[in-house]
Amino acid sequence: MQIGFVEAVDFRNYRTLSLAPGPRLNVLSGPNGQGKTNLLEALGLLVTGRSFRTPRIAEIPRWGSPAASLTGDLVRADGTSPTRRAVRRTVERLDDGRWQLGGEPVEWARAIAFGWQDLEIVNGAPSARRSFIDGVAGRLYPVHRSSLIQFRQLLARRNRLLQGRSGDAATRARLEPWDAQFATVGMELVNRRRRAVAALQTELARVYGALCATGGKVEIRYQTALGEASDAAALLAALERAQREEVRRGQTLVGPHRDDLAIEIDGVDARAYGSRGQQRLVALALRLAEMLPVTDAAGTTPVLLLDDALSELDPAAREQIVRELAAAEQVFLTAPEPLTVKGAAVFSVNAGGVASA
Ligand SMILES: Nc1ncnc2c1ncn2[C@@H]1O[C@H](COP(=O)(O)OP(=O)(O)OP(=O)(O)O)[C@@H](O)[C@H]1O
Ligand SMILES: [Mg+2]
For a substitution probing ligand 1, which of 12, 28, 117, 118 has the most ligand atoms within 8 Å of its CB?
12
Task: Please report, rounded to a whole number, the percentage of residues in the chain having pLDDT higher than 70.
Answer: 99
Q: Using a pLDDT cut of 90, give the percent of the chain over it.
A: 86
291-326 confidence digits (pLDDT tens): 999 999 999 999 999 999 999 899 999 999 999 998
CA of 288 to the centre of ligand 1 (A): 25
Contact status, residue 68 vs residue 9, Cβ threshold 8 Å: yes
Q: Which amino acid is at 188?
A: E
For residue 231, CA distances in Å to 12, 19, 187, 228, 237 come to 46, 49, 6, 10, 10
pLDDT band at 165 (very low <50, low <70, confident <90, very high): low
Within 6 Å (CB) of ligand 1, which residues are found?
12-13, 30, 32-38, 59, 62-63, 336, 349
Taking Cα atoms as reference points, which of 25, 22, 28 lies closest to residue 3?
22
Flag whether pLDDT at 79 surpasses 80.
Answer: no
pLDDT value of position 176: 87
Q: What are phi and psi of 10, to 5 degrees?
A: 55, 40
Quickly count: other Cβ atoms within 10 Å of residue 7's Cβ: 19
**pLDDT surpasses 70 at 156:** yes
Name the residue of 16, 37, 312 whose CB sits within 8 Å of the most ligand 1 atoms, as the mutation to test its pocket: 37
Atom 24 in ligand 1: which residue has the minimum CA distance?
32
Compute, in angstroms, the gap from residue 116 CA to the centroid of ligand 2: 9
Give the predicted TM-score (pTM) of the model: 0.94
At residue 78, the pLDDT reads 77
How large is the greatest C-alpha to C-alpha distance in the chain, in angstroms?
70
| Domain definitions of the chain by residue range | 1-110+300-357, 119-299
Res. 264: pLDDT tops 90: yes
**CATH level 3 topology of 1-110+300-357:** Rossmann fold (3.40.50)
- Backbone φ and ψ for 198, nearest 5 degrees, come out as -60, -40
Looking at domain 119-299, what is its CATH homologous superfamily? RecF/RecN/SMC, N-terminal domain (1.20.1050.90)
Task: Write out pLDDT tens, residues 131-155.
Answer: 999 999 999 999 999 999 999 999 9
Check pLDDT > 80 for residue 44.
yes
